[in-house]
Structures are given as structure tokens and as C-alpha cells.
Amino acid sequence: MAVKYTLVIHAGCEDIIPERYGPEAEHEYLDYLHKSLAAGRVVLEGGGNGLDAVCAAVEVLEDCPLFNAGRGSVFAHDGTIEMDASVMRGKDLSAGAVAGVTGIKNPVQAAALVLKKSSHVLLMGTGAERFAHIHGLESAAPAYFQTSRRREEYLAAKKQAGEKFGTVGAVCLDRAGNLASASSTGGIPLKQYGRVGDSPVIGAGVYADNAACAVSCTGEGEFFLRRAAAKRIACLVEIGGFSLEAAVSAVLENIRNLGGKGGIIALDTAGRFSISFTTQGMFRGLVREGGMGRAAMFGPPGAWQ
């Protein structure tokens, strides 16, 4: 029997408060969140699967210069842009990821290619780019990613470090009852030495298992890596008997105790979901079959049932 689909998205968390965003900026951010939901919904309404839906939703966010993924990626310390992405399918635990790519227009599609067209899980750097190009994925020159907004932030950050937890992601339950998840990021501002965070690491920043849940994380990646956050949530649900909300809350509390902060979206095969964060806000959205898409950016998380 077909189930009703659910799609949940996020586009990063930080100190997102009304004082920092005027009405026009708020409208622009929410508009892109709704466009992301709509892209995923088109796939699902057309009979597509959850993996393709999360990729479509994330691709919209990658194309938007407002969010730290794809075109909106932040600059590394040397003035370059390095991007990471991952996807996972819950029905068979298939996964794909890329790390440190520089010329792929939509890294989430490269991650999906690794899942679908290779026997590997994670490809990095020039090897990942070569693989993507062989399979016809669209590339982009450095100038495409180097937006004036990010360059201004980069120059300011060189003078005074700030925090920005920018990752975009999605989790989905499709009509076949299968889960999928995806994440994509430009990393942290001024990162050095080829730093890779949690986003392309299966079990840290992303995970999907029909026996438990689908998860996508955003925040201070080193803490999510150390806690193996996404997999830990799945284990708490499947083995520990935790509710989805309790599992997400426990892991965020673990990360807080380590000194980190961030946000998590999660979803199970019953359509239960969690949207939680320990920052002052998170860009987020939700759509269920037959319902209106909803988006928000300011805290607290609230309840969308």
C-alpha cells in the first residue's frame, strides 16, 4: 500500500534572529526554501523516489547564492572554494559522497552519481570531478561560485573570525515507504589543509535506514564527526527504543556537552519527523502529501504536525 510522502529540508543554522534580517531578506530566504520544497514535491508527485526528491530539493539550495552550498559556498583560507556532499538510500543502505570538489555545479548530483554509477561510497578532489565529468555532470568555472557577497564575507572573516554553520540538506519518505537523505556544503569559512567536515561522511552528517530513520545534520562538523551523530540517532531509534524526537535531542545534547552546536532534521517510515537546533535559528521547511509547504528561519523549532 502506498504511503503519503513527507519531505523535510534545512539550509543551515546559526544565530538567525529577526534583528539581522529585514522583511525583504526574510522573504527572499523563505522563497528559496519553498522553491526547494516544490522541486522535491514535483519529483514525488510524478512518482519519483525519495533519493531523487532529496537531490532535487538540495540542488535548488545549491543554486541559490544565499546558502553555504554550491554557488553560495564560503571561501577557504586561500581564497578557493571546496565543496562536499553526500546522499543515502534507506532501503538498501546505498550511499554516495564527494569531498573537496571545486568545479562541479551541483555536488549533490555528483554524490548521487557515486551511489548509482560506481562501486565506491566516497570520492574526493580531482578524482571525484573526473568521475562526474565522465558521466556528463555539469561543471562550473571558479567565477560562478565566487559571488561578491561571499567574497566580502571572506575579506571580513580574514580580519575577524566569525561563525557560520552552513550546510543544506533534506530527508524524505516516499510513496513506496522508503527513506532517503542528502547533505551539501561549502564547509566552514577560512578552512585550511583540505579540511573535510561531517557532511560527506556517512553516519556523521547524513544517514538513512528504513529500519530506523533518515538524518541530515548541520553545525560544527568536527563535533558531529566525533559523535557519529547521524548513525547514533539511527541506533538510538532502532536499538535503544528512543522516539525520533528523543534520539535527536539526546545527540544534540551530547554535542552541546562536547562544546559544539548545530541542528538536525530526521524522519522515519511512519512519517514522524524532528526539526531541532541549538542555535538561535535554522533555515527549514516541510511538505507532506496533500498539504501546504511550510518554511521558517527563526527559533524556536516549533511543532509542525
Q: Per-residue pLDDT for the chain (305 aa), expressed as one digit of tens each?
A: 678 999 999 999 988 999 999 999 999 999 999 999 999 999 999 999 999 999 999 999 999 999 999 999 999 999 999 999 999 999 999 999 999 999 999 999 999 999 999 999 999 999 999 999 999 999 999 889 988 888 887 777 666 554 555 899 999 999 999 999 999 999 999 999 999 999 999 999 999 999 999 999 999 999 999 999 999 999 999 999 999 999 999 999 999 999 999 999 999 999 999 999 999 999 999 999 999 999 999 988 877 76
CA distances from 174 to 35, 93, 111, 266, 289 (A): 19, 16, 20, 14, 10
State the binding site: 195-198, 218-221
Which residues participate in catalysis according to the annotation?
Answer: 167
**Is 266 a domain residue?**
yes
Q: Which three cell numbers stand for residue 204?
A: 556523521
Q: For the domain that residue 164 is a member of, what is the CATH number?
A: 3.60.20.30
**Is 140 a domain residue?**
yes
**Is 305 a domain residue?**
no
What pLDDT shows up at residue 150?
Answer: 82
**Is 189 a domain residue?**
yes
User: In 3D, which of 267, 286, 163, 148 has the Cα closest to residue 215?
Assistant: 267
Note the pTM of the prediction, 2 decimals. Answer: 0.96
What's the domain count of the chain? Answer: 1
**Is 304 a domain residue?**
no
What pLDDT shows up at residue 147?
Answer: 86
Beta-bridge mates of residue 255: none
State the binding site for substrate: 195-198, 218-221
Please give the Cα distance from 180 to 155 (Å, whole number): 37
What pLDDT shows up at residue 305?
Answer: 62
- Number of Cβ within 10 Å of residue 305's Cβ equals 7
Please give the Cα distance from 250 to 182 (Å, whole number): 22
**Is 21 a domain residue?**
yes
**Is 45 a domain residue?**
yes
What pLDDT shows up at residue 160?
Answer: 58
**Is 303 a domain residue?**
no
User: In 3D, which of 28, 31, 29 has the Cα closest to residue 14?
Assistant: 29
Q: Which three cell numbers stand for residue 15?
A: 544565530
Show the domain range for 259. 6-298
Please give the Cα distance from 184 to 168 (Å, whole number): 5
What pLDDT shows up at residue 255?
Answer: 97
